Amino acid sequence: MTTRTETGGKAERLIESREDLLAVFARGEKPREAWRIGTEHEKFVYRCADHRAPSYDEPGGIRDVLNELVAYGWQPVIEKGNVIALTGPDGAVSLEPAGQLELSGAPREHLHQTCAEAARHLDQCKAVGEKLGVCFLGMGMWPDKARSDLPVMPKGRYTIMLNYMPKVGSLGLDMMLRTCTIQTNLDYESEADMARKFRVGLALQPLATALFANSPFTEGRPNGFLSFRSHIWSDTDPDRTGMLPFVFEDGFGYERYLDYALDVPMYFVYRDGIYHDVAGRSFRDFLDGRLAGFEGEKPRVSDFTDHLSTIFPEVRLKSFLEMRGADGGRWGKICALPALWVGLLYDDAALDAAWDEVKHWSLEGRQRLRDSVPALGLRAETPDGESLQQLGQRILAIAASGLNARARFNASGDNESGFLDPLREVLAAGRTPAERLLDLYNGEWAGDIDRIYAEQSF
pLDDT tens-place string over residues 268-283: 999 999 999 999 999 9
- Which residues lie closer than 8 Å to 403 by C-beta, 6 or more apart? 111, 339, 342, 343, 347, 415, 416, 417, 419, 420
Please answer whether residues 309 and 1 qualify as being in contact, where contact means their C-beta atoms are separated by less than 8 angstroms.
yes
pLDDT of residue 12: 78
Q: What's the farthest any 2 CA atoms get from each other in the chain? A: 65
Do 281 and 265 form a contact (C-beta atoms < 8 A)? yes
Question: Percent helix, strand, coil in the chain (nearest 5)?
Answer: 45, 15, 35
DSSP string, 270-336: EETTEEEE-TT--HHHHHTT--TTSTTPPPBHHHHHHHHTT-EESEEESSSEEEEEEEP--HHHHHH
Roughly how many angstroms between the first and final C-alpha of the chain, as a whole number?
21
pLDDT at 413 over 90: yes
Distance (Å, whole) CA 130 – CA 147: 26
Closest CA to 435 of 364, 359, 371, 379: 379
Q: Cα dihedral sign for 46, 50, 56, 61?
A: negative
**Does residue 189 register a pLDDT over 80?**
yes
What secondary structure letter does DSSP report for 376?
A: H
pTM: 0.96
pLDDT given for residue 8 in this prediction: 46
Of the candidates 119, 103, 86, 3, the residue with the CA atom closest to the CA atom of residue 45 = 103
Question: Residue 164 pLDDT more than 60?
Answer: yes
**Model pLDDT, residue 13:** 84
CB 92 within 8 A of CB 85: yes
The pLDDT of 291-311, averaged and rounded, is 96
d(CA 458, CA 455): 9
What does 325-367 look like in DSSP terms, one character per residue? EEEP--HHHHHHHHHHHHHHHSSHHHHHHHHHHHTT--HHHHH
- Tell me which fold the domain 18-456 belongs to: Creatine Kinase; Chain A, domain 2 (3.30.590)
Residues forming a β-bridge with 276:
269
User: Residue 10 above 90 pLDDT?
Assistant: no
- Looking at residue 7, its pLDDT comes to 47
DSSP 406: H
Mean pLDDT of the chain, nearest integer: 96
Report CA torsion sign: 303, 304, 309, 310: positive
d(CA 5, CA 86): 8
Angle at 3 between CA 46 and CA 32, to 5 degrees: 115
CA 444 to chain centre: 32
Task: Mention every residue, 6+ apart, whose C-beta is less than 8 A from residue 259.
Answer: none
Note the pLDDT of residue 100. 98
Predicted confidence at residue 5, as pLDDT, reads 60
CA distance 90 to 120: 9
Instruction: Say if residue 1's pLDDT is above 80.
Output: no
The percent of residues in the chain predicted with pLDDT above 90, rounded, is 97
| Burial call 343-382: b when 16+ CB within 10 Å, e when fewer | bbbbbeebbebbbebbeebeeebbbbbbbbbbbbbbbbbb
Residue 340 — φ and ψ, nearest 5°? Answer: -60, -50
Would you list the domain boundaries of the chain? 18-456
Mean pLDDT of 200-221: 98
Tens of pLDDT, residue by residue over 95-135, are: 999 999 999 999 999 999 999 999 999 999 999 999 999 99
